[in-house]
Amino acid sequence: MLASPSTHKSVLLMSASELHTYAREQYVAMFQEGMDLVGHPDGHYVMFKKEDFTAWVTFTIAFTILIIFDNFILNRKHQRIGMLRAAVQTVSCDFHSIFCS
């Protein structure tokens, strides 16, 4: 748990060595909190698992297709768009990301 200001004297009144010690204690506490949040106390966190391979390939293909569709179909002409069209595209994108995922 991070130390509250009441447990230490004001940072403005600390000497350089006290400030260094205080900063190190805070860093160690924040790092430990982060490790606890990850939920892998043994330190063997794996970002990509073998059983997730199909999901990652599917995501990558779908993402690539959507980027190509956006760049070469929807926005093939370099032109200025108005506020209404920008709002419609934004709402459409939000709708698809919320309801199609």
In this prediction, residue 52 has a pLDDT band, given cuts at 50, 70 and 90, of: confident
- Asked whether residue 57 is domain-assigned, the answer is yes
- pTM for the model stands at 0.42
**Distance separating alpha carbons of residues 30 and 100, to the nearest angstrom:** 36
More confident residue, 33 or 68: 68
pLDDT of residue 58: 93
Mean pLDDT, rounded, for 36-63: 79
What's the distance, Cα to Cα, between the start and end of the chain in Å?
Answer: 36
Q: Say how many domains are in the chain.
A: 2
Query: What is the domain range of residue 80?
Result: 50-99
- State whether 26 and 54 are in the same domain: no
pLDDT of residue 38: 67
What does DSSP assign to residue 43?
S
> Under DSSP, is residue 30 helix (H, G, I), strand (E, B) or coil?
helix
- Asked whether residue 44 is domain-assigned, the answer is no
Find tokens 């569709």 and name the residue: 69
pLDDT of residue 98: 85
- State whether 55 and 24 are in the same domain: no
With 90 as the cut, is the pLDDT of residue 26 above it? Answer: no
